[in-house]
Amino acid sequence: MHSRFSPFASPLFLALGLGLIVATLGWTALPVERGLMFNLQALFQPLISSSEEAVLYYSWWPRLCISLLAGAGLGLAGVLMQQVLRNPLAAPTTLGVASGANLALIAATLFAPALLAAGREWVALAGGATTMALVFALAWSRGLAPMVVVLAGLVINLFVGALAITLLLFNQEALKGVLIWGAGSLTQSGWSGVTHLWPRLAVCAVLAFVLLRPLAVMDLDESNARSLGVSVRQLRLAGLGLAVFITGCIVSVVGIIGFIGLAAPNIARMAGARKLGARMFWSVVLGALLLTCTDQLIQYLAGSRSALLPTGAMTAALGAPLLLWLIPRLKLGGNRPSTSASGFSHRHPRPARLAAVLCVLLLIAVVLALFVGQSAQGWAGTVQWSVLEWRLPRLLAAAGAGIMLAIAGTIIQRMSGNPMASPELLGISGGSAIALMAVIFLVRSPDNLTLITAGTLGALAALGLVVLLNRRSGYLPERLLLTGVAITALFDAVRSIVLSGGDPRGQQVVAWLSGSTYYVDLNSGLFIAVMGVVVMAATRPLARWLDILPLGAATASALGMGLNRSRLLLLLLIALLTACATLVIGPLSFVGLLAPHLARLIGFGRAREHMLGAALIGALLMILADWVGRQALFPHEIPAGLVASLIGGAYFIWSMRRR
């Protein structure tokens, strides 16, 4: 006879443990250590003339309350999204809801501040609902399969992030305060945030309780749910609408808080809460405790500087390793694309002619970028060296970076058999960027060799994580993408912390992250372009490996291929190419995903042709992106990396919608 263990026991022990940590950290992080009664008196009967009690009443206690409320709300929003979509990866951050709400609030701050006076949560709701609708539109035709939903959310996140950085780049002074808030700051100077948030979350909690029984039906498939008289479409709209509203309210008060909505429901499920009611209750409790524990830890470690460390970014920095730990333990399923070579089998009968056409287009783009542009007198052609000496280095750098990212993306796609893999989506560019930012802030005047070495090591570390976490599962696409989400989130957290600190070097980091070629000199441009051409020639002997690898490990071994040696060499090459390209155009470009995809789409099927076509398309895209960025808002400039990411993101949104 087996005894049944209560599903509430494990989450209860976990919550008690977290609560004990919160209490311990909160006690040690108190600004005034006068005993429990003194601190409680400062909450219920404050003596405002006392500076100590005023600090407790107007700062510490509101911050504690807002962290509990925001964490609980995000936990509730996460469990609603996961239940409605039947997807353990769904959360406000992974589906782009938080990013959309943040972008809407930034845009309203700049262009329509009157809307904020009418209600910040409604502006955030509009932004979050728009991104959620885009994700739905992209994934609806595939039955909202988990991998497709996550991929759509990742693409939308990158696209919306590029738009937000574009606004930030042109309005750094106006948005200086928004940087800290947007990174998820829980610093309070009164009770206005708490009084604004708690009644809205209370109403949402009541509505979630009303929807509890209908939502439990979502554990069944759609046909069984309909047979019970449940309108699945209306239920989805109600559940997701409630989750988006909760997220919008929280973002409008404290900014983006990363990973709580993803981690809390999954931890509750893994701890033993299987039924929806138990999962919803413990997700709320664990979400509140996780965020509060993180915030109390920041206050304890940072002391008086804790106001400069945004809790949302720190939560993402701590949550990313947690997600990486969860990935092998999550049960993901459905809609796995074939990893066979069939995805690469389409071939144009005359690939040499296609390559010739691309070379002609590339030559036209070079002429356009060098000799055509705007000036104070309007559009004009020019052959003056005083103008060309500024344009030529940028053209060379953009072309070289495009070639390197395109080849890196082609190798990743053919190695994994996954046509949606790329340095950007798998977090390799993010890993390289983290290392480069560390060098910029820790090393005085680093040279290019130091930057390239650091970037390569960061890219290798990200690649190592991807391989380590996905080797046993056979590199399932959904697990690969989730690993990329975690590494990218870690990069976003580091970026937010760096930018919110007020360091003057932050502006240099913003310019670099956006992918500007403005500061490239002729020697650097020549080096990058020559390196791109040399790499394109050097990878041609590797084409046989890339033709064999998509066939599977057994076939590759039977053909006498040394798998470990070949994979290691290819991974090293990917890391080096990604680091060099990221150093020039930042980590936001979609070229590593877009160029191989377009090359395969127009008929470059075999590996050697595929790499050549992708390299030509990558160079073409980056040259055009740099030229468009210079001309679109003349005399102002949009960096080439941002233009490429906007074009690439728009293309993939359109491409996924057609399928």
Q: What is the pLDDT of residues 83-117, one digit of tens each?
A: 888 777 778 877 888 888 888 888 888 888 888 77
pLDDT value of residue 73:
93
pLDDT value at residue 1: 41
Which top CATH class is 9-329?
A: mainly alpha
The kind and range of the H/E element at 210 are helix 192-210
Rg (CA), the chain: 26
Confidence of residue 501 (pLDDT cuts 50, 70, 90): low
Which CATH architecture does the domain made up of 342-658 adopt?
A: Orthogonal Bundle (1.10)
- What 3-state class would DSSP assign to 379? strand
Same fold for the pair 9-329 and 342-658: yes
Could you give the count of Cα atoms lying within 13 Å of 42 in the half-sphere of its Cβ?
Answer: 23
Which among 152, 93, 155 has a CA at the least distance from the CA of 128? 93
- Mean pLDDT confidence for 594-601: 88
What does the alpha-carbon distance between residue 254 and residue 184 come to, in Å, rounded to a whole number?
5
Tell me the pLDDT band of 332, cut-offs 50, 70 and 90. low
What confidence category does residue 202 fall into, taking pLDDT thresholds of 50, 70 and 90? very high
Q: Which residues pair with 378 in a beta bridge?
A: 375
Of the candidates 108, 375, 353, the residue with the CA atom closest to the CA atom of residue 248: 108
Tally of CB atoms within 10 A around 198: 17
Sort 139 into a burial class: Cβ within 10 Å, 0-12 / 13-18 / 19+. buried
Structure tokens given for 509: 């980091």
In the chain, helix, strand, coil percent, each to 5? 75, 0, 25
Q: Over 471-528, what HEC string results?
A: CCCCCCHHHHHHHHHHHHHHHHHHHHHHHHCCCCHHHHHHHHHCCCCCCCCHHHHHHH
Angstrom distance (rounded) from CA 256 to CA 373: 39
Burial of 605 (0-12, 13-18, 19+ CB in 10 A): middle
CA separation (Å) from 245 to 109, 186, 238, 248, 492?
20, 19, 11, 5, 24
**346 pLDDT more than 70:** no
> pLDDT: is 512 or 400 the higher one?
400
Q: What is the dihedral of CA 616, 617, 622, 627, to 10 degrees?
A: 100
| Closest to 170 (Cα-Cα) out of 558, 628, 629, 576 | 629
Specify whether the backbone of 221 is left (phi greater than 0), alpha (psi in -120 to 50) or beta. beta
The identity of residue 468, as a single letter, is: L
Q: How much is the pLDDT for 162? A: 78
What pLDDT is recorded for position 9?
59
Mean pLDDT of 306-317: 69
Q: Is the pLDDT of residue 39 over 80?
A: no
Cα atoms in the 13 Å half-sphere on the side-chain side of 629: 30
Answer whether residue 244 shows pLDDT above 90: no
For residue 198, pLDDT over 80 is answered with yes
Task: Report the alpha-carbon distance of residue 529 to residue 406 in Å, rounded.
Answer: 13
How confident is the model at residue 619, as a pLDDT?
Answer: 92
Amino acid in position 163: L
Tell me the C-alpha to C-alpha distance, in Å, between residue 37 and each of 43, 123, 171, 296, 456.
Answer: 10, 41, 47, 20, 55
Q: ∠ at Cα 23 (18, 25), nearest 5°?
A: 95
> What value does the mean pLDDT take over residues 57-70?
86
Per the CB < 8 A criterion, the answer to whether 591 and 648 are in contact is yes
Q: How is residue 471 written in tokens?
A: 């080797």
Mean pLDDT of 553-578: 73
pLDDT at residue 58 tops 50 = yes
d(CA 382, CA 625) in angstroms, rounded, equals 20
What average pLDDT does this structure show over 568-594?
A: 79
Mean pLDDT of the chain: 77
Mean pLDDT score, 374-395: 73
Q: Any idea what the Cα angle at residue 178 is, between residues 176 and 182, rounded to 5°?
A: 135
DSSP state of 337: P
pLDDT band with cut points at 50, 70 and 90 for residue 343: very low
* Tens digits of residue pLDDT in 249-301: 888 888 778 778 888 888 888 777 878 888 899 899 889 888 888 888 877 77
What is the rounded distance in angstroms from the CA atom of residue 486 to the CA atom of residue 248?
22
Domain ranges of the chain: 9-329, 342-658
- Is pLDDT of 240 > 60? yes
Global pTM reads 0.75
Distance, in Å, from the CA atom of 92 to the CA atom of 552, rounded to the nearest integer, reads 36
The residues that bridge with 381 in the sheet, in sequence order, are 372
pLDDT of residue 48: 66
What pLDDT, on a 0 to 100 scale, did the predictor assign at position 342?
Answer: 41
Say if CB 215 and CB 232 are below 8 A apart: no
The more confidently predicted of residues 207 and 632 is 207
* pLDDT for the residue 6: 52
